Copies of this chain bind each other. A is one copy, B any other.
Amino acid sequence: MQHSYRALAQQLQGEIARGERRVGERMPSVREGSGQFAVSASTMVRCYRYLEMHGWVDARPKSGVYVADWKARPTAQPAAAAQPAAAAQPTLAPPASMAFERFVSLQERMAELYALTSQPLHMGLHLANAAPQWYPTEALARIGQRLLRSHPDALGVYPTGTGWPAFKQALVQYLGAKGLELAADDLLVTNGSTEALAVALRATTQPGDSVAVESPAYFGLFQLLDSLGLKAVEVPCVQDQGMSLEALEYALEHNSSIRAVVLMPGFQNPLGYAMSDSHKRRLLKLIERFGTVLVEDDTFADLSPYQPTAQPVKAWDRLGQVVYCGSFSKSLAPAFRLGWVSGGRYHARIAALKLSHSLVTPLWEQMVLAQYLASGELAPHLRRLRERLAANVVPVLASVRQHFPLDCQISNAGNWWLWVEAAPQVDTLAVLRQSVRQGIAFTPGVLFSASGKYSHCMRMTVAQPFGPTMDAALATIGGLLREAV
C-alpha cells in the first residue's frame, strides 16, 4: 500500500522510456490519473513528484505535468545522483576548482540561511536542538561546579591523547549497552559528531571520490562533502526504512567512485526514519560485498521514538568496515560539543587526522559528562525527553494541520522534526525570507540536497514546548505557504 506511488511511477517511467509517452506530451491530471489508475489523489501527486525528482516529467505551474526531455539531459539533471542512468556513469573526479565552485554555491545558500536566521527570532525552528530547559542543565552545572571547586588545577593541564580516560570509559559502558563491544582504545573523542564525520570521511576517501548519502540528508553533510572535494551521490529513501538498499546496491554496482556511504540508521535527519535490524544487516552485507565503508552517524539514535535501544549497524561489524560516530549534542548537552568516533580498520588514520587538525578536545566537558554518565542519570533523562517529545508533538501536529494548506504533506519525523512537502511550485526559501521578518525561522528544503531538490519542502524542529507562541508561528508559516502557491 505504502509503495503504490512507486509502483505506479515505475509503470509510467517504463511507458516513457519505451516511447509510449513522448517527450512534451501532457500526462493525465491528478484527478484524471487517480481515476484512470485507481489510486488516491495523494498517491498520484507523490508519483508525479517522484517522477519529477528523477527527471522523467516536468510539472509546469498552473498548466500540468508533461513528459520531460529525459534523453537530452542524461547528466545535466541536478538530481543526477538519484537517477539510475546517471548513477551508472562512472563519475570523474572534478578538478578541485570545480568542486570549489560547487562548494561556494552551497556555501552561499548556507550563508543566506545563517544571515536570515541570525536576526532576532522569537520562534526558531531551524536548528536541530531541543529547548534548553529539556536538558539536565542543573545536574550538569552541579557536577561542573563541584569539579571546579575540587580540581581547579585541571584547567591548567594541557590535554593530550584521544580523550579523558574516565569519559572514554563511561562511553565504553554506554555504547556497550547498545551492543557495541569496544575498548577505550577504539574510541576517539571529537568536537561533536561534525568533526567525527569530517575525520572519518577524510580518512576513508580522497578528493574526487563519491560518497553515497540519504536523500534528503542533513545539510551539514553536503557542506562537509563539498569542502572535502567529495561528490554526493543522493540515494532515495524508502518511507519507513531510510535509504533504499536496492538503490544503494544499484549505485554501488554502477558507480565505482563511491568510497563511503554515510547513513543515520538509528534516526534519520530530516525524515526521522529508523532502519530495522534486518535492513541493517543487509546494509552491512552490501558494504562488505563492495568493500566500501559505512560511516554510521548515530547522533540522534537515543531520541528515536521507535527503537531507541536498537543496535547500531556497528554492532554486527566484524571486518571493521563501519566507522561509528555519535554525539551528546542533541540528546544531553548541546553546549558541550562532545562527540566520538570508533573507526574500525581506519581508526588509527582517523585519530591521526583529528590530532593534526584540532589536537585534542576540551577537558572540562569530558570530566563533567564522565561523572554524569557514571551517575546512571542518562537513561532516565532520555526516557523523560522522549516522553516529552511524544506528548508535545500531538498539539504541534494539530496546529500544523489546522494552519497549513491542505495540499501540504506533513510527516512527523520522530517527534523531533516535522518534514513538510508543500505543493511543487512553492519555494520554501522564499517563504523563509518572509517569515524571518516576523521573527520565525525553519529550514528550507533546498538545503537537504546538494542538487537543489526539495525546494518545496521544509524541516521544522518542534522539540520545544508547544504553546500560543508556537501556534501563532505555525499559523504565520501556514499563511505564507498559502500565499506562496
Cβ contact within 8 Å between B160 and A356 = no
- Contact partners of A140 in chain B: CB under 8 A: 152, 155
- Contact partners of A134 in chain B: CB under 8 A: 156
**How many residues of chain A have a CB within 8 Å of chain B?**
68
Cβ contact within 8 Å between B362 and A362 = yes
Which residues in window 214-233 of A have CB below 8 A to B?
220, 223-224, 226-227
Q: Of the candidates B157, B224, B363, B364, which one forms a contact with A356 in the assembled complex, judged by CB atoms under 8 Å apart?
A: B224
Q: With A156-B135, A160-B127, A161-B118 as given contacts, are A227 and B357 in contact (CB-CB < 8 Å)?
A: yes
Q: Give the complex CA separation of A285 and B187 in angstroms.
A: 47
The chain B residue with its CB closest to the CB of A199 is: B357
Q: Give the complex CA separation of A194 and B107 in angstroms.
A: 23
**Per-residue contact bits, chain A 259-300, to B (CB 8 Å; 1 contact, 0 not):** 000000000000000000000000000000000000000000
Q: Give the complex CA separation of A365 and B335 in angstroms.
A: 10
Q: Give the complex CA separation of A134 and B158 in angstroms.
A: 12
- Contact partners of A356 in chain B: CB under 8 A: 194, 198, 220, 223-224, 226-227
Distance of A153 from chain B, by nearest CB (Å): 5
Q: Give the complex CA separation of A156 and B329 in angstroms.
A: 9
Q: Of the candidates B194, B353, B361, which one forms a contact with A227 in the assembled complex, judged by CB atoms under 8 Å apart?
A: B353
Cβ contact within 8 Å between B132 and A141 = no
Q: Of the candidates B155, B192, B361, which one forms a contact with A137 in the assembled complex, judged by CB atoms under 8 Å apart?
A: B155
- Contact partners of A364 in chain B: CB under 8 A: 144, 335-336, 364-365
Q: Of the candidates B132, B138, B154, B191, which one forms a contact with A358 in the assembled complex, judged by CB atoms under 8 Å apart?
A: B191
A352 CB within 8 Å of chain B: yes
Q: With A206-B96, A364-B335 as given contacts, are A357 and B153 in contact (CB-CB < 8 Å)?
A: no
Q: With A227-B357, A358-B358 as given contacts, are A155 and B329 in contact (CB-CB < 8 Å)?
A: no
The chain B residue with its CB closest to the CB of A140 is: B155
Distance of A259 from chain B, by nearest CB (Å): 12
- Contact partners of A149 in chain B: CB under 8 A: 141, 145
Q: With A107-B352, A159-B335 as given contacts, are A153 and B127 in contact (CB-CB < 8 Å)?
A: no
- Contact partners of A333 in chain B: CB under 8 A: 155-156
Cβ contact within 8 Å between A152 and B159 = no
The chain B residue with its CB closest to the CB of A337 is: B362
Identify which of A149, A157, A352 gathers the most chain B CB atoms within 10 Å of its CB.
A352
- Contact partners of A335 in chain B: CB under 8 A: 154-159, 362-364
**Per-residue contact bits, chain A 114-134, to B (CB 8 Å; 1 contact, 0 not):** 100010000000011101111
A315 CB within 8 Å of chain B: no
- Contact partners of A353 in chain B: CB under 8 A: 227
Identify which of A135, A156, A202, A223 gathers the most chain B CB atoms within 10 Å of its CB.
A156
Distance of A340 from chain B, by nearest CB (Å): 13
A79 CB within 8 Å of chain B: no
The chain B residue with its CB closest to the CB of A134 is: B156
Q: With A149-B141, A352-B110, A352-B227 as given contacts, are A198 and B358 in contact (CB-CB < 8 Å)?
A: yes
The chain B residue with its CB closest to the CB of A162 is: B114
A359 CB within 8 Å of chain B: yes
The chain B residue with its CB closest to the CB of A221 is: B356
Distance of A345 from chain B, by nearest CB (Å): 15
Q: With A337-B360, A352-B111, A357-B224 as given contacts, are A156 and B144 in contact (CB-CB < 8 Å)?
A: no
Cβ contact within 8 Å between A133 and B156 = yes
A148 CB within 8 Å of chain B: yes
A-B contact pairs, 18 of them (CB 8 A): A111-B348, A127-B160, A133-B156, A135-B155, A141-B152, A141-B155, A144-B155, A148-B148, A154-B335, A157-B335, A159-B337, A194-B356, A220-B359, A227-B357, A335-B363, A336-B364, A337-B360, A364-B365
A-B contact sample (13 more), CB < 8 A, given A96-B207, A131-B156, A198-B357: A118-B160, A133-B153, A134-B156, A135-B155, A141-B149, A144-B364, A145-B148, A155-B333, A156-B333, A158-B335, A159-B334, A195-B357, A224-B357
Using CB atoms and an 8 Å cutoff, list the residues of chain A in contact with chain B. 96, 103, 107, 110-111, 114, 118, 127-129, 131-135, 137-138, 140-142, 144-145, 148-149, 152-161, 190-192, 194-195, 198, 202, 206-207, 220, 223-224, 226-227, 329, 333-337, 348, 352-353, 355-365
